[in-house]
Structure 1
């Protein structure tokens, strides 16, 4: 069971699973795209054991490239953990104050965002494909956490996970215009004069959204691993039938 751990301290554990040819379906973690749900459940059980929790502690969503987020309570424990039909619908970000719940985000090129608040123990995950980025899901969530949950943005620590690199994220004018219209993404785009295609750094655009929410840039880390290039990664752009990584965070028991 290959994982990359970003944070493991007395309060939180956070990381992502990796592609692993020795595991079922190369360690695919997604029930919505798999050859066998049993295979994925076996992989999830191995992950749960490694994290010293149970699969029924997982909380999963039905991701739709929306800007919708959900505050997780104990009533959500186990949603989507072993059946996609019980997942939280039409949602691409989760946050909670509860311990021992593993918040899950599934990606294969999209940008996963994992975060925790050092002061109040709030944790969360975001799935930000390019559509979620132009809908500003990360910025909207952090604004909500500041305004509604009374969080201080300087208490957040953010990990932006591995994703499709700018070199490999090649788009046409329609997508470029949507990023251009954000008003702050110009530095993260260039045009290839030979192909006429635009190249966008989705990770750095999301990082900018975190900064616009008031999070200090030195508390935002970016995993620059390119999912298209790395053999440890699934890539939807490379293979439409690819599996998915599971990016996760859990607050350890108080």
Structure 2
């Protein structure tokens, strides 16, 4: 069933009004007609089951049939601090991270990152990434659209980490699997969790030490070396499985 996001100001007691680009998508791409059903999220935790009542060129009016508090979000907000990868890997990372339940993705310029974002094109790139996040959120039935932050330095990322309840940083020289399991299990009850993932070249030792000093705990993801686009998704998969509630 098609899913859309709206602001709370577009919702009344009995109906919802969709405007903007979604109107064209409903009318001309999905070719929906009055009486057909959609789900809508307000991005604040409420979901709505609706039927199309009226379509015009400017808006689509929906009758609210039912509503409920969304149950799809993880109990903790997970922040993915992703070292800038090469080529279009970031698009894959964003799409899959949103499907796995990430709350926010923060691109990070690390010492070994090959990619350097052009300041003149950075916002255009971020908007492209945000569009991918929105599409993935709709497909996955998320109750919110994860935000893609502007790219920040590793030092600023560590300062953000100070405001979180916990943070993990996968590192090939970290202690064994039992230590990793213990650290993941210790995340139960935390409300905000940071995950730091390095670029293709990984983190420098000095960055690991700085992260440790900021409170991030190095853990291993096993005996194999994972690509940057694999490491973050592996970490998110582990957290989703561990933290997901019935």
TM-score by length of 2: 0.31
Larger Rg: 2
Larger relative contact order (Cα-Cα within 8 Å, sequence gap ≥ 6): 1
